[in-house]
Every structure is written in structure tokens, then in C-alpha cells.
Structure 1
Amino acid sequence: MRVGARARRGRGAIAVTRVLVVDDQDLTRAGLAALLRTAPDITEVGEVSDGEAAVEATVRERWDVVLMDIRMPGMSGVAATEEILQKVPDPPRVVVLTTFDIDEYVYSALRAGAAGFLLKDTSPGRLIEAVGVVARGEMLLAPAVTRRLVETYTRRPSAAVDPAALSELTAREKEVLRLVGLGIDNSAVARRLHVTEGTVKTHLHRLMGKLSLSSRAQAVVMAYESGLVVPGQAG
């Protein structure tokens, strides 16, 4: 294990992005780290080999993005994601790495607050682009994939949540949550509700605060689990 952080600032770099790679496979981890170090806007890359070390590294140092292998011996990527998002005051954006797009581990990570997921066979260019996307605060998964994943696992009776969880929301906030759950982006939600995109963002920010949600992915999951969105419902 090493938290080998190596600085690299390329010509024309527009942002400081520090990335931590977490994977128990040495070759995979080294390959991802080497690739990320070629990106001009990624200034520092660290490497650790397990979930416990990932939590320690994020508590000790500031990272913008964590690429988290989801299946590891010891502390899983899901458990590490939960701890990082709970323990770190200004937590990094966590992107989970997986072999399959429909995966219960991925679903659990999204519920925990992960910003999205990537398949391990993602192209080099897509990987670098993905880091930039989540570093800017965006969610890293297509709405169609999100809905397919969530629908697969919320069909189980144990996934349902108490409707009282939504009791703090206004009618408009519930509607925004429902539309977000359907995979509709902010600009489209704004058109549907005949409001500005800024207003939609305000409603989303407030409802996420009331529901103690830390990511848009969690909001999508909550919309399904609360019954605001029914699996298979059209947008």
C-alpha cells in the first residue's frame, strides 16, 4: 500500500484536481494512476490498496475525487464510501469502479452518496473526462442507467421507506424530487414546472438538506424507495 501522491501540472491546466485511486489489484491500481497522471488538469494522484486505507487517506489529506474499487477484501468500497462521506467534513466525490453496470454493490454505493460509477473497461479518455465531470459537482451516470439500476433493486419489498420521510417537503419539492427520480435534468424540470433552472436548483438543494441527502444519485434512489416514482414509470 502507498499513498504515493505525485504532482503533475500540465500546460493550460484550468483546475486543481487531486485524485485518490483505491483498488486491491496492484496492476489495475497502478495502471489507473499512471493514466490519470497524464491528464493536464489532474495535479496529484494517490494510491491505496484497501477500504481502510482509503478512509485514513481522506481523513488525513484533501482529495477532490476518489476512484473506489467496489469489491475488495476487508472493508468493501461501499463501506469505505459511507465512512468517507460521514467522517470527512468536506468529503471528496466518490466514483465507484465495477465490472458490471447492474450490480447491487453499485446500488448500495449510490444510496450511500457516491457521485456515480464507472465500468472497469472504460476507455482512457472517458476515465479522464469522468474525473473532470465529478470534480465539477456533476453526477456521473446516464439517467437511463440510473433508472435501470434503481428499478432492479427497489422492486424488493425491503427497499421501501416510510412515507413520513417526505413529510418535511413542500408540494413543489416533492414534485422536483419525483422528476429528478425519473432521470430528468434540471433544465427540463424547469421547463415542465415553468420556473427558472436556478429555482429548480434551489428546490433540489433544500429537499436534499431536509432528507439528509448528499448527492443527486441519492435523491433518485429516495424518489423510488419512497414511492414518488414507480419502477417502469415513464418520464
Structure 2
Amino acid sequence: MPLTVLLVDDEPLVRAGLRAVLEAQPDITVVGEAADGAAVVPLVRQLRPDVVAMDVRMPLLDGIEATRAVLRSVQDPPKILVVTTFEQDEYVYQALRAGADGFLLKRARPAEIVHAVRLIAAGDSLLFPASVRALAAEYGSAAARGALESARLTDREAEVLRQMARGLTNAEIAAGLVVGTETVKSHVSAVLAKLGARDRTQAVIAAYESGFVAPG
């Protein structure tokens, strides 16, 4: 089965460029397009894409609210990849906080775009550049610190969270810790459950906001 993608961007040229890049791959199919976030929920329900490539700034409903709407109203929602022009953009961070799974710059090379879509679809890693990590640290709070402390992670779970925050895949974490991939998956699941996080991105945001992991 091919990996299916829905493109959401108010610029037709951007959508056309992403479609050309993605459909050049034998395992990826673009199943639909939307020019605004307001159209996303109906299209997701109709097309059931694996990944939504979502612009952040759109005229009627921006990518932050569209992300919230998808996660709130769609059962078994797709992965959401934020696509934007500027990496040092608080909108991007707010979209990640709202539940988006990763981040991609519009100027990324074709190979990087394809790689990002595949990573997000697999749920094995995430794209979390230094600028967004710094924003997460700026949003730190006593509440975030208290929430992470109350999660009572084991030493191994804490180490796995640190490696997740570095953007490592399960396989890379397993190699570094000299354990099996399935063991790492179990630790990741435990971390998400204890933090009440929907996915790896939300867990990493918690790690940076609490100061558990420093941006550098």
C-alpha cells in the first residue's frame, strides 16, 4: 500500500511543487489538496490520508487551529507535518504544541521532503530543529517541571526521553543503549503513557519545557 498524503497550503505553486516531489516516489501518493485549513477535516474524513502536509499561515483557518480540529474530531487521525517558510516562527511551535508531529521548511530539498514524510508516517522519529527547541525552552514553566517530575520516569525511560529529544529513531536509540528495538519501543510507550503525551513530539516538548533537556 502506498503512503498517502494530503497537501494543505494557500499557495498553488507550493502545492504543485510538493505534489511533484512526492509523487515522483513509487511508494507515495498525493490523494488530495486544500487551499485552507477550513477544508482539512472533511477531506481527512473522506480521503483518510496517512500524512497531512500542513501550512501554518493560511487566510481563513490557520494550521494551528486546523491541527486542533483534526485531532479533536477525527478518529484515528493522520500524522501532521507542519510546512512553513520560517523556522524561527512561533506559529510553528504552537502547531507542534497543538499536536502536529513534525516540522519542515518549504525550502527543503526534495530528498529532505520525502524523508520527512516517511519519518512522520512511521512515527519513529521527529523533526525538531534547534530554533524550535529554543522556543520550547522559552515556554518552560513550573507546571511543566512539576508534571515531568510527577511522571516518575525510571532511569532508563529518562535516558530514552533524552535520546528522543535528540531526534534519534528507535533503532538508533537501541544501538546506543545496546538493547533491542522492541525494548526501546516499550520504553517509549511507557514514557508517553506517564507523560500523558499523544506522541513523541508531545513528549519532547514536555522534556524541553520542563528543563529536563536543554536546547543545546
Q: TM-score range by the shorter chain?
A: 0.7 to 0.9
Determine whether 1:167 maps to 2:153: no
Structure 1 residue 23 displacement after superposition = 0.7
| 8 Å CA contact retained: 1:224, 1:230 | yes
Tell me, which stretches of 5 or more residues in structure 2 are unaligned?
none
Q: What is the percent sequence identity of the aligned residues? A: 47
Structure exhibiting the larger radius of gyration computed from Cα positions = 1
What is the aligned counterpart of 1:222 among 178, 181, 206? 206
Question: In the alignment, what sits opposite 1:71?
Answer: 57
Aligned counterparts of 1:227 and 1:80: Cα–Cα separation in 2: 29
Q: Distance in 2 between matches of 1:77 and 1:178?
A: 28
Instruction: Show the 5 A alignment for 1:2-151.
Output: 15-141=1-127, 145=129, 147-151=130-134
Q: Is residue 2:192 matched to residue 1:205?
A: no
The RMSD of aligned alpha carbons is 2.6
For the structure 1 residues 132 and 156, does the alpha-carbon distance in structure 2 shift closer, same or farther, using more than 3 Å as the test? closer
1:160 Cα deviation from its structure 2 partner: 5.6
**Alpha-carbon separation, structure 2, partners of 1:155 and 1:20:** 32
Does structure 2 conserve the Cα–Cα contact (< 8 Å) formed by 1:64 and 1:92?
yes
Moved more, 42-51 or 189-198: 189-198
Distance 1:72 1:134 in 2: 22
Aligned mates of 2:174, 2:110 — CA distance in 1: 34
Aligned CA distance change for structure 1 residues 41 and 182 (closer, same or farther; 3 Å) = closer
Q: CA deviation at 1:185?
A: 4.5
* AA partner of residue 225 (structure 1): E
State the distance in 2 between where 1:163 and 1:98 align: 32
Give the alignment's TM-score, normalised by structure 1. 0.78
Q: Which stretch of the first structure deviates more once superposed, 102-111 or 60-69? A: 102-111
Q: Which residue identity lines up with residue 219 of structure 1 in the other structure?
A: A
CA contact (8 A) 2:82 2:104 kept: yes
Looking at structure 1, the residues matched to 118 and 169 of structure 2 have their Cα atoms a distance apart, in angstroms, of 19
CA–CA separation in structure 2 for the residues paired with 1:49 and 1:73:
9
Between the aligned partners of 1:190 and 1:35, the Cα distance in structure 2 is: 32
Compute the displacement of 1:158 (Å): 5.5
Residues 91-100 or 171-180, more deviating: 171-180
Range that drifts further, 166-175 or 220-229: 166-175
> How far off is 1:203 after superposition?
1.3
Asked whether the equivalents of residues 66 and 94 of structure 1 are also in contact (C-alpha less than 8 Å), the reply is yes
Query: How far, CA to CA, are the matches of 1:89 and 1:124 in structure 2?
Result: 31
Distance 1:33 1:75 in 2: 22
Q: Which runs of 5+ in 1 are unaligned?
A: 1-14
Q: 1:155 aligns with which of 130, 138, 154?
A: 138
Count of residue pairs brought into register by the alignment: 215
